[in-house]
A and B are shown apart, each in its own frame.
Chain A
């Protein structure tokens, strides 16, 4: 680490090498009453949501409403353009006809729902975010490969260097480290470079 730049403790990072261990650890940490903690795994680990006591994801609702917008806007567009703004006799039919509008209504519904789903997810996850303090840790790079991590952030009300350490140690992590982040925002990039 670069000693010149001022650091502050960002989070504890505990590493495990099996899914079972990390699941177990997550349990413990939650039971210990921590709220601002997280598990980092290369793939979603079954039962982890329960272990961390997460609420059901609201993505579904976002999709529902964006889908609704899709249908109605499609219907509105075709009704206004064909039936109101410039009605024409096409094949002896009225300007606006519902049956022939169904396909486009469906397509627009799907389109907007899909946008809702992806961008809803990113929104809820506050992504993209390229400078999370956790990236300061070199060991964390394997989080996307074959290792499993529990992180407890310093913002957590129960966070205490000593006590939190002991809680984590009781979960038998393979490694345990304190991750610090430079306090200076613009230095951020530079230091990350340095770590690389």
Chain B
């Protein structure tokens, strides 16, 4: 199917009026061709140094053992899994924007889906780190894979952790394919623009982008298969994104730990994931938009639409929190009841109420249009939501574990410097990757944006009647006609 100019959403065009195809190419590709602005270098330096911290902390962790973290008995999982779930959640928004909105024909996605997908990939890399490094004997982590070994044992496919392994690695692979396939036409454009360039830079760009473009020549016979593939990948990613966080939630939901053992977890986790993901996209978009003057492509309208989603999903998780309490009370299960009272009023109440404030209360400001459309407000909110969602995972994991069935074994968890080092390190790593991405890769899906420009519609008044009917005869793709 192909794009039509935006009549679906309101009566507004998604890009500034009168933008030509070439201007789009210039604005986006220009970023990668000009020298990097000073702010980029500053940001990159900071991010990179945190990546260094990550390396050091992980090295220390491997040398000494998990004991350098604050994890203890009974809180055997703490920041490690908290960070894992948090990062995975963030990743989900990317897939959601590129896949789900695509299926629902939300054309406004085109401005942000590329960056969102990139964010997904980097976030998932950060997430994947934790299952790897949090095990006691890293050098044996490969036991988790179904490969023959000296003990002739196979993994335990009944363990949610194994489901997790398959789900997350699948998720990573599919996201990567999806992202790359979307990039092929744009790489072709970069290649062709590089043709004009001279000197070593031009040569390198020609070779690299040329290789990545796979010799794409915009042939319509290719576009036909390409679009079908893209549609299918989107159709696959949509259930995938739902399944991944459901499986992640199984890690908790299938256990016996009060506070974990809950059927509401899958939908609740998915909502939370979208919530935090959109917040993170928002943060990144606002920054890049400011740094690279993309205001004409990433318009306020895009951001407002995202804020609406943030408000919706925020209310969804709020509902989930309430529902958990109701079920605990209604179940009559003393352990379940205790855990939830303990969450709200126990030693970790500060974490719980931080979570409630950031996730449920704050997003409600978006009921007001002025708030929805004010850059500073939405930036602040997006940050707060990310904090809140981190605390959600912390609350679920730590407060449930630290007081479970036998009071004799209750404990309290305190993080160590290494915990913090590794968490901030992953943040650094994430932003390093993202900065490299906006430096070298078109951060907006150029071909798709062009597709939604008004002049992309062959059925403008300028076209003669006979063409109208002649091509009206065979409308190949039903879903193209809304």
Contacts and interface: CB of A to CB of B under 8 A. Distances in A.
Contacts of B167: 103, 107
Contacts, number: 246
Contacts of B476: 47, 49-50, 54, 56
Contacts of A90: 156, 158
B247 A121 contact: no
Given A42-B450, A49-B224, A93-B158, A146 B21 contact: yes
B396 interface: no
A117 B188 CA distance: 20
Contacts of B451: 43-44
Contacts of A135: 217
Interface stretch (B132-140, B226-234, B291-299, B321-329): B226-234
A129 B224 contact: no
Given A45-B220, A46-B3, A103 B166 contact: yes
Interface in A1-52: 18-20, 22-24, 26-27, 38-52
B448 A43 contact: yes
Interface string B440-482: 0000000110110001111110111001001101111100100
B315 interface: no
A13 to B, nearest CB: 11
Nearest to B250: A103
Interface in A108-122: 108, 110-111, 113-115, 117-118, 120-122
Contacts of A20: 458-460, 462-463, 467
B411 interface: no
A23 B215 contact: no
B357 interface: no
Interface residues of B, number: 84
A43 B233 contact: no
B243 interface: yes
B157 interface: yes
A131 B214 CA distance: 10
B471 A134 contact: no
A179 to B, nearest CB: 12
Residue picked from A18, A23, A146, most chain B C-beta under 10 Å = A146
Given A125-B221, A128-B214, A50 B154 contact: no
A85 B153 CA distance: 9
B416 interface: no
B25 A146 contact: yes
Nearest to A130: B215
B215 A128 contact: yes
A57 interface: yes
A40 B458 contact: no
Residue picked from A103, A120, A144, most chain B C-beta under 10 Å = A144
A43 to B, nearest CB: 4
A40 B220 contact: yes
Nearest to B187: A144
B169 to A, nearest CB: 8
Contact of B471 (A42, A51, A196): A51
29 contacts: A19-B456, A20-B460, A38-B219, A38-B221, A42-B447, A43-B447, A45-B220, A46-B1, A46-B457, A50-B473, A50-B475, A52-B220, A54-B224, A57-B227, A59-B225, A59-B232, A78-B157, A93-B158, A101-B157, A104-B166, A107-B167, A110-B174, A111-B170, A125-B222, A128-B215, A130-B211, A141-B193, A144-B192, A145-B189
Interface of A: 18-20, 22-24, 26-27, 38-54, 56-57, 59-60, 63, 77-78, 81-82, 85-86, 88, 90-91, 93, 97, 100-101, 103-104, 106-108, 110-111, 113-115, 117-118, 120-122, 124-125, 127-132, 134-135, 140-146, 149, 196
